[in-house]
Structure 1
Amino acid sequence: MVDTNKRVFWHFTFKDILTILCSAAIPIALAIYTAIGSQQQKREAEKTRQFDLEQAEKLRQQTLYDEFINNIFKLDNYGYLKEKKNPWAFANAYYRAAHLEWDTIHKAYVLQFLKEKQLIGRNNCTNGCRTTNLDDIIRLNELSFDNVHLASQTGVLNQLDLECVSFDQVSMSDAVFSFASLNGVSFDGGRLDNVKFDGSSLLCASFNGVNLSGADFGNSNLTGAHFSNSDLSGAKITEDQINQASFDNVIRGVSR
């Protein structure tokens, strides 16, 4: 005899099956929807966190910059930037401490500020060659300016004044000089691999013991520039520029 209860148990209608499937599908769909929503919330939270971090870093950079400017003005008011205070220990201590924290944008801003206030590039280089012998109040030697972009705000209209600045023993890998006046500048002992000079003036500039591999001199003026004991392998330099400058014991292997 067949068990009636068993027959009833296994006797499902299509409606019963559909009801069971729908009952199971709803929690699954809710779980999927919840998971997708959770991932979106995580992505949005991460974007917000990144934005907040970027804003905090911008504020920190600006604060460091403002504090340095204020410290320099205080030193000036107290007479610590006068010639008799050479070697200007306080000014250099403030600068080097802040330099370690600045991003490349603020490093460029500060260089322009220092030049405008005659704290660097103090020699008279209007004709491209040094005519005086003044020490820079702020020393840039042995610092890193990698990836710094120094550019004139008006392009070809007015060149950025960096004349006679001493960039001795600095690292400026992948740096860019756009429409800058670098007349009389010294890069002696520096690392300038892959540096780019775009529309700049390098009258009487000095490159002694410099790594310039991969450098690009663009359409810059090299009249009177002197290269000695330097690596110019792979550098982009034209025949006219070669004729403008002088070379002594350099690795030429250049790309023209």
Structure 2
Amino acid sequence: MPWSSDRVEAVGRNKSATKQEKYFKLTFHELLPILCSAAVPIVICVYTAITTYEQTKEAERRQFDLKQVAEERRLFDLTQANQLRQQLLYDQFIDNMYTLDKDGQLNDSAKPWAFPNARYWTAHRQWEPEHKGHSLIFLKKIDLIGRQCHGPEGQLKRLDDIIQLNQLNFDNIRLKSQNSNMHPLNMTCIRFDEVSLINVSFTFVNLDYASFDASSLNGSKFEESSLIGTIFNATQLHGTDFSNSDLQDAHLYNVILSTVKITEEQRKQAKFTNITLLNASNADKSTTTTGKL
């Protein structure tokens, strides 16, 4: 019977397929633990590497933060030490002036006042701008600079300064009255001759009858200050700003005003001799003017 033979062959094929399928199922289940056992160490290695990297970066960040804190602390300590040193130098200078005064070295009879000037110049070379400004106020208060007396008919006469400011550097100092325009800071009659005063600020300062002969005032500013009768002779005034200061009877000799900030009212107040201006119509040419502008 043909159909019987076909059924036997089919059953045989099914049995064979079932065995093969079981073989493959067993093989997969056997390989899965092997694959898992092989993957676990890899995962552990990756996890360890990532953890180690993160710990290393965290340690580096902490080390950087510690270094930054240490550097900030170092700079703070340096600043404090420098401020203390500056104050000690200034206090020592005050003590030296007191001693010199007791010894009669600040009297007119001690002219040319070699010891006081030596003391001041030595201290000045070590000061920062803040204490240089303080020193000017101190010297003016005890009448060692900007000395004056009233002559016949109330005329103001300047006496020789006991402390000479010639050839000293006062760049970047800030002089300002503590009471604004109610009580301007008194800096009258001071001789700022042959002095560097670059980028200096004068705010509510009385500079009447002072002089700035052969000095540099480049980039400096006079704000709400009085410059009555003040003399500027061969003074460098590049970028100098007179703002709203009083220049009544101020005299400017041999100066270049091409970059000076000065108002029309101030031009009428001051006197000018042999000054140079840039010609507005031709910046390459200059004009020399004498008298009022």
Query: TM (normalized to structure 2)?
Result: 0.80
Instruction: Identify which range, 11-20 or 23-32, moves more after superposition.
Output: 11-20
Cα deviation, residue 52, structure 1: 0.3
Measured at CA, do residues 94 and 254 of structure 1 come closer, stay the same or move farther in structure 2, by a change above 3 Å? farther
- Between the aligned partners of 2:49 and 2:132, the Cα distance in structure 1 is 62
Aligned counterparts of 1:199 and 1:113: Cα–Cα separation in 2: 22
The CA distance in 2 between the partners of 1:31 and 1:97, in whole Å, is: 54
2:119 to 85, 89, 94: 94
Task: Determine if the alignment matches structure 1 residue 49 to structure 2 residue 74.
Answer: yes
Q: Which residue of 1 aligns with 2:140?
A: 115
Partner of 1:188: 213
Structure 1 residue 241 and structure 2 residue 279: aligned? Answer: no
Query: C-alpha separation between the residues in 2 aligned to 1:148 and 1:197?
Result: 12
Question: Is 1:153–2:161 an aligned residue pair?
Answer: no
Q: How much has 1:133 moved relative to structure 2?
A: 4.1
Describe the SS at the equivalent of 1:107: helix
1:76 aligns with 2:76: no
Measure, in 1, the Cα distance between the counterparts of 2:278 and 2:231.
Answer: 20
Q: Which residue in 2 is equivalent to 1:136?
A: 161
Q: Tell me if 1:105 matches 2:130.
A: yes
Residue of structure 1 in register with 2:254 after alignment? 229
Cα deviation for residue 18 of structure 1 reads 2.3
Q: As a proportion of its length, which structure holds more helix?
A: 2
Contact 2:158–2:189 (CA under 8 A) maintained in structure 1: no
Q: Structure 1, residues 83-116: CA drift from partner, whole Å, max 9, x if none?
A: 1100100000000001011000000000000000
2:246 maps to a residue whose letter is N
Q: SS at the partner of 1:252?
A: strand
SS in 1 for 2:89: helix
- The correspondence for 1:35, drawn from 53, 60, 64, is 60
1: CA distance, partners of 2:137 / 2:242: 21
Q: What is the aligned partner in structure 1 of residue 13 from structure 2?
A: none
Q: Which residue of 2 aligns with 1:25?
A: 50
Cα 1:183–1:11 change in 2 (3 A) is same
Gaps of 5+ in 1: 1-6
Whole-Å separation in 2 of the counterparts to 1:229 and 1:30: 71
Partner of 1:210: 235
Aligned equivalents of 1:250 and 1:141: distance in 2? 24
Equivalence map 1:10-21=2 (5 Å): 11-13=35-37, 14-21=39-46
1:243 deviation in Å?
0.5
Question: Residue type of the partner of 1:57?
Answer: N
Task: Count matched residues.
Answer: 246
Task: Report the alpha carbon displacement of residue 24 of structure 1 after superposing the two structures with TM.
Answer: 2.2
Give, in angstroms, the shift of residue 233 of structure 1: 1.9
Cα 1:254–1:68, aligned 2, differ >3 Å: closer, same or farther? farther
Write the distance in 1 (CA, Å) between the matches of 2:219 and 2:279: 13
Counterpart check, 1:200 vs 2:225 = yes
Offset, 1:30: 1.4
Q: Pick from 215, 219, 228 the counterpart of residue 244 of structure 2.
A: 219
> Secondary structure of the equivalent of 2:235?
coil
Q: Highest Rg: 1 or 2?
A: 2
2:193 aligns with 168
Q: Name the structure with the higher strand share.
A: 2
Residue by residue over 1:143-181, the C-alpha shift from the partner in whole angstroms, topping out at 9 and shown as x without a partner, is 111111111011122100000000001010111100000
Give the conservation status (yes or no) of the 8 Å contact 1:124–1:164: no
Unpaired runs of 5+ residues, structure 2, are 1-30, 281-293
**Partner of 1:184: helix, strand, or coil?**
coil
- Structure 1 residues 101-135: Cα deviation after superposition (integer angstroms, max 9, x where no partner): 1000000000000000000000248xxx9722411
Opposite residue 49 of structure 1, the aligned amino acid is R
Please say which of residues 138-147 and 21-30 is displaced more in the overlay. 21-30
Q: Which residue of 1 aligns with 2:4?
A: none
